[in-house]
């Protein structure tokens, strides 16, 4: 077989019709204030962990909504729960509880 | 041998209860660490044991602390506890006086009037009957009050009584029946066979010819025995477990054991089961008074842990402000206990903070004093700037521990029960502190202060900026003018009740402003509502708590509130606009003389630093 010097990448299409919303739904049922999020990014701007890594609340929220559980798991474990995002949030999202609920839901999945 | 089948329910119940209690206590005994066992052993034969017994008398029997809260409530508890104790003691004395033996089967003194009711015409016997009737009347008055308290809790100084789980309700009902049934049994016996004094004979006379007959006589003794037996069976699984457990708790505490915040130790188990759900703490909880949310307070939490139906909201909907601890008549350390339950629940939650090992921060300059503003002060930069000005005015050689980006102190994670997972944060900060070579660590945030002080085991002195400011003023390094501002001081929970710092901030404020008194000073201080310990409250609920606290403190007369916590400042400031919220450092900075010091503008972050951090 010929080697062309490249491999076929794994398909990373996110299928919105078939993605796994169960975790997002569970977290939202425990912390409905997340419905108010407008993805403004204030949380990402102030994030302590975000100043050291690629983690931030906004990105994590997006991963959760898309149902990308593996990426979400790697992201959420970087959070230090310092709560700056909660104080800065203009929409009053209870961010610390969102993180806690995601962690609980991920633990349950294990 | 004195025996009748009706004593069986009582005997079975008593045996069952003792077996369960022994099993439980043995399990908790196994939780004692070697160190704790040594502490108990060294203090066992000292005066501490005597003090323990003294406390058992004053608290478990007389309920002195409840008397201090409300006399009627104190009398109710005392009549039930001390009365029942007297009934048992005098009952045993009476039994040994009749039968001439030191010990009889345990049911004989309880059902003595059944086994021995003939008058022997001795004065002592009539004396015993009189005394026993009086004690029974004493207890019955308590039972009546207990029933009345369920209807009118306010008369007993309680805003609300605790809602009981089904097991507790059954045990409570059975308890209410025990003594009226004893009265009924003794009264019928008195009129049919003799014995008894003014109460039992008097009531018996009324029942003569109607209720009192052979059948009711036997039936009433059976009923009394069953009620006792049932109560004993329910006791280990209901709130009445506090009766035997509190005695153990008092002894352990007197022997020098303390509740740990990170582990469910032996004494934590004793505390967990010593809560009697009396409900006194409910009225001090701001969630109850301001939000009418009454499901997660200490008695409900302990109940759900005991009954293994703990929910996430029940565990985490608590400000951990510590107000309930002060009102607890059993002296349970609610915060430590809740913290150890949170730790137990969340100790396996996944967390990976290994990236902290690779991050590159701005090098820490060598200095005498190192200043840690904390995450919250980064969101209230006025505090940070004020501290910088003060350090410069006092010519202190200081450097920042977290000038641009901060590594969190770890306490927010700990409060969420992830104590073990917060260790990388603690280690990182310890390294940074060691780099500075400083002798004093000053922090503006009481949340950080508490964790630095208690969990970091640092070699250097840790001070909160209130204490540090007082030291600077006392040593004459700061020259201040007194302004005409009228202010009230809000004690942050973590600084006041949490760390016992009450005087330093007041002394500092008195130098620069006119400090007015509130009804919520020192230990009685209110929580701002912003507490990181509570992850359940919504932002609007937090605002309600903050506004209620401000209203109570200022009475709409004072327009400036001074606090010493960036989180309190932020919470109060974002909840309303009418009252100015200042940090103590800010009002000190405002009144510095001479005003040569110009606020330093925060420097730009060096660009190479930003690049390094974009991992």
Which of B6-20, B393-407, B411-425, B460-474 shows the lowest per-residue confidence on average (mean pLDDT)? B393-407
Per-residue DSSP letters for B126-154?
Answer: HHHHHHHHHHHHHHHHHHHHHHHHHH-GG
Q: Detail the DSSP E strand segments found in B227-368.
A: none
Hey, what are B478's tokens? 């700061």
pLDDT of res. B104: 79
Higher pLDDT, B311 or B2: B311
Give dist(CA B181, CA B420) in Å, integer: 54
**A73 and chain B in contact, CB less than 8 A:** yes
Total number of domains constituting chain A: 1
Indicate if B386 and B299 belong to the same structural domain.
no
Min Cα–Cα distance to chain A from B238, Å: 30
- State the residue range of the domain holding A62: 22-109
State the best of A44, A52, A73, A78 to mutate against chain B, taking most chain B CBs within 10 Å: A52
Whether B124 is covered by a domain: the verdict is: yes
CB distance B408–A97 less than 8 Å? Answer: no
State the best of A33, A56, A72, A83 to mutate against chain B, taking most chain B CBs within 10 Å: A83
What pTM did the predictor assign?
A: 0.90
Total number of domains constituting chain B: 4
Per-residue DSSP letters for B562-605?
Answer: EES-HHHHHHHHHH-SSSEEEEHHHHHHHTBSSTTPPPPPPPPP
Indicate if B396 and B435 belong to the same structural domain.
yes
Instruction: From B297, B312, B345, give the residue that closes a domain.
Output: B345
- Chain pair A-B, CB pairs under 8 angstroms: 89
Hey, what are B609's tokens? 């630093």
Whether A33 is covered by a domain: the verdict is: yes
Residue A1 has pLDDT above 80, yes or no: no
Give dist(CA B371, CA B366) in Å, integer: 12
Indicate if B217 and B267 belong to the same structural domain.
no
**B509 and chain A in contact, CB less than 8 A:** no
Indicate if B395 and B524 belong to the same structural domain.
no
Whether A51 is covered by a domain: the verdict is: yes
Whether A14 is covered by a domain: the verdict is: no
Which of B189-198, B242-251, B386-395, B578-587 shows the lowest per-residue confidence on average (mean pLDDT)? B189-198
Whether B55 is covered by a domain: the verdict is: no
Hey, what are A102's tokens? 């995601």
Q: Are strands B486-490 and B560-563 parallel, antiparallel or unpaired?
A: parallel
Min Cα–Cα distance to chain A from B568, Å: 11
Indicate if B130 and B233 belong to the same structural domain.
yes
Indicate if B416 and B310 belong to the same structural domain.
no
Give dist(CA A47, CA A22) in Å, integer: 26
Whether A71 is covered by a domain: the verdict is: yes
Q: Is the dihedral of CA B296, B298, B303, B306 positive or negative?
A: positive
Whether A1 is covered by a domain: the verdict is: no
ipTM for the whole complex: 0.89
State the best of A44, A56, A87 to mutate against chain B, taking most chain B CBs within 10 Å: A87
Indicate if B307 and B364 belong to the same structural domain.
no
Instruction: From B206, B237, B268, give the residue that closes a domain.
Output: B237
Cα B96 to the center of its chain, rounded Å: 43
Q: Are B528 and A87 in contact (CB under 8 A)?
A: no
- What's the whole-number mean pLDDT along residues B555-579? 92
Whether B22 is covered by a domain: the verdict is: no
Whether A13 is covered by a domain: the verdict is: no
Q: Are strands B560-563 and B580-583 parallel, antiparallel or unpaired?
A: parallel
- What's the whole-number mean pLDDT along residues B313-328? 93
Min Cα–Cα distance to chain A from B379, Å: 7
Write the CA distances from A89 to A36, B205, B381, integer angstroms. Answer: 10, 76, 17
Phi, psi of B423 (to 5 degrees): -55, -40
Contacts of B595 (CB under 8 A, 6+ apart): none
Q: Chain B contacts of A48, Cβ < 8 Å?
A: 375, 405-408
Whether B353 is covered by a domain: the verdict is: no
Residue A97 has pLDDT above 60, yes or no: yes
* Paired strand residues for B235: none
In whole angstroms, how large is the CA radius of gyration of chain B? 31
Q: Where are the alpha helices (DSSP H) in B117-241?
A: 123-151, 166-193, 198-207, 214-234
Q: Is the dihedral of CA B344, B346, B352, B353 positive or negative?
A: negative
Contacts of A64 (CB under 8 A, 6+ apart): A23, A24, A27, A72, A102
Min Cα–Cα distance to chain B from A13, Å: 25
Continuous segment of H or E residues that includes residue B440: strand B440-443
Residue B601 has pLDDT above 80, yes or no: no
pLDDT of res. B610: 44
Widest Cα–Cα separation across chain A = 59
Instruction: From B314, B345, B376, give the residue that closes a domain.
Output: B345
Whether B600 is covered by a domain: the verdict is: no
Indicate if B495 and B421 belong to the same structural domain.
no
Residue B344 has pLDDT above 70, yes or no: yes
Whether A86 is covered by a domain: the verdict is: yes
Whether A35 is covered by a domain: the verdict is: yes
For B538, the closest chain A residue by CA position comes to A94
In whole angstroms, how large is the CA radius of gyration of chain A? 16
Hey, what are B389's tokens? 């000005």
Residue B11 has pLDDT above 90, yes or no: yes
Which of B13-22, B197-206, B308-317 shows the lowest per-residue confidence on average (mean pLDDT)? B197-206
| DSSP type of residue B524 | G
Q: Chain A contacts of B379, Cβ < 8 Å?
A: 46, 84, 87-88
Q: Quick check: helix, strand or coil at residue B562?
A: strand
- State the residue range of the domain holding B318: 257-345
Measured from the Cβ of residue B291, the count of other Cβ atoms closer than 10 Å reads 17
User: Looking at residue B433, which CATH number applies to its domain?
Assistant: 3.40.50
Measured from the Cβ of residue B26, the count of other Cβ atoms closer than 10 Å reads 9
CB distance A54–B615 less than 8 Å? Answer: yes
Write the CA distances from B573 to B371, B385, B542, integer angstroms. Answer: 24, 18, 12
Give dist(CA B228, CA B587) in Å, integer: 65
Q: Are A43 and A57 in contact (CB under 8 A)?
A: yes
Indicate if B280 and B156 belong to the same structural domain.
no
User: Looking at residue A33, which CATH number applies to its domain?
Assistant: 1.10.1060.10
């Amino acid at each position: 077989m010929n080697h062309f010097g490249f491999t076929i990448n794994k398909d990373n299409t996110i299928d919105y019709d078939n993605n796994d919303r169960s975790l997002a739904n569970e977290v939202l049922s425990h912390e409905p204030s997340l419905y108010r999020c407008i993805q403004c990014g204030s949380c990402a701007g102030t994030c302590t962990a975000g100043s050291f890594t690629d983690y931030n609340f906004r990105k994590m929220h997006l991963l959760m909504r898309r149902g990308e559980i593996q990426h979400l798991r790697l992201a959420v474990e970087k959070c230090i729960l310092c709560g700056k995002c909660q104080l800065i949030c203009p929409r009053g999202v209870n961010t610390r509880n969102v993180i806690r609920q995601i962690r609980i839901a991920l633990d349950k999945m294990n | 041998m004195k025996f009748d089948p009706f004593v069986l329910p009582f005997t079975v119940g008593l045996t069952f209860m003792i077996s369960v209690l022994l099993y439980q206590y043995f399990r908790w005994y196994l939780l004692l660490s070697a160190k704790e066992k040594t502490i108990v052993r060294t203090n066992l034969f000292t005066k501490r044991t005597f003090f323990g017994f003294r406390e058992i008398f004053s608290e478990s029997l007389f309920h002195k602390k409840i008397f201090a809260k409300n006399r009627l409530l104190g009398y109710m508890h005392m009549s039930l506890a001390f009365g029942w104790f007297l009934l048992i003691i005098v009952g045993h004395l009476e039994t040994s006086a009749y039968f001439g033996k030191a010990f009889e089967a345990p049911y004989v003194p309880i059902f003595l009037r059944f086994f021995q009711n003939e008058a022997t015409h001795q004065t002592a016997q009539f004396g015993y009957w009189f005394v026993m009737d009086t004690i029974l009347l004493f207890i019955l008055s308590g039972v009546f009050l207990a029933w009345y308290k369920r209807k009118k809790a306010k008369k007993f100084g309680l805003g609300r009584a605790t809602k009981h789980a089904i097991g507790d309700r059954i045990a409570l009902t059975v308890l209410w029946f025990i003594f009226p049934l004893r009265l009924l049994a003794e009264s019928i016996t008195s009129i049919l066979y003799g014995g008894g004094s003014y109460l039992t004979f008097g009531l018996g006379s009324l029942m003569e010819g109607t209720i009192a007959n052979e059948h009711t006589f036997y039936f009433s003794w059976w009923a009394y025995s069953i009620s006792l037996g049932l109560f004993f069976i329910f006791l280990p699984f209901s709130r009445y477990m506090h009766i035997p457990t509190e005695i153990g708790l008092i002894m352990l505490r007197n022997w020098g054991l303390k509740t740990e915040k990170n582990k469910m130790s032996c004494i934590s188990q004793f505390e967990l089961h010593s809560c009697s759900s009396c409900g006194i703490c409910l009225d001090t909880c701001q969630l109850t008074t301001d939000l009418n949310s009454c499901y997660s307070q200490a008695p409900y939490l302990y109940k759900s842990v005991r009954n293994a139906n703990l929910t996430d909201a029940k565990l985490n909907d608590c400000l951990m402000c510590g107000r309930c601890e002060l009102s607890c008549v059993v002296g349970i350390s609610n915060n430590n206990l809740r913290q150890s339950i949170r730790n137990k629940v969340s100790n396996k939650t996944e967390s990976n903070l290994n990236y902290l090992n690779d991050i590159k921060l701005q090098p820490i300059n060598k200095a005498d004093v190192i200043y840690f503003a904390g995450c919250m002060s980064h969101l209230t930069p006025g505090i940070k700037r004020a501290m910088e000005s003060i350090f410069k005015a006092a010519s202190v050689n200081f450097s920042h521990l977290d000038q641009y980006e901060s590594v969190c102190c770890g306490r927010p994670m700990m409060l969420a029960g992830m104590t073990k997972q917060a260790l990388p944060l603690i280690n990182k900060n310890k390294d940074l502190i060691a780099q500075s070579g400083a002798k004093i660590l000053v922090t503006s945030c009481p949340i950080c202060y508490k964790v630095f002080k208690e969990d970091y085991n640092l070699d250097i002195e840790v001070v909160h900026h209130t204490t540090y400011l007082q030291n600077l003023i006392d040593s004459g390094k700061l020259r201040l003018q007194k302004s005409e501002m009228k202010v009230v001081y809000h004690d942050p929970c973590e600084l006041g009740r949490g760390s016992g710092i009450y005087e330093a901030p007041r002394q500092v404020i008195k130098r620069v402003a006119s400090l007015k008194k509130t009804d919520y000073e020192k230990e009685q201080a209110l929580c701002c509502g912003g507490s990181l310990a509570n992850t359940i409250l919504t932002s609007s609920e937090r605002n309600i708590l903050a506004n209620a606290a401000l209203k109570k403190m200022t009475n709409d007369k004072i327009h400036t509130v001074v606090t010493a916590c960036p989180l309190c400042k932020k919470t109060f400031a974002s909840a309303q606009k009418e009252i100015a919220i200042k940090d103590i450092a800010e009002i000190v900075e405002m009144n510095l003389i001479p005003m040569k010091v110009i606020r330093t503008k925060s420097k730009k972050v060096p660009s190479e630093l930003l690049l390094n951090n974009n991992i």
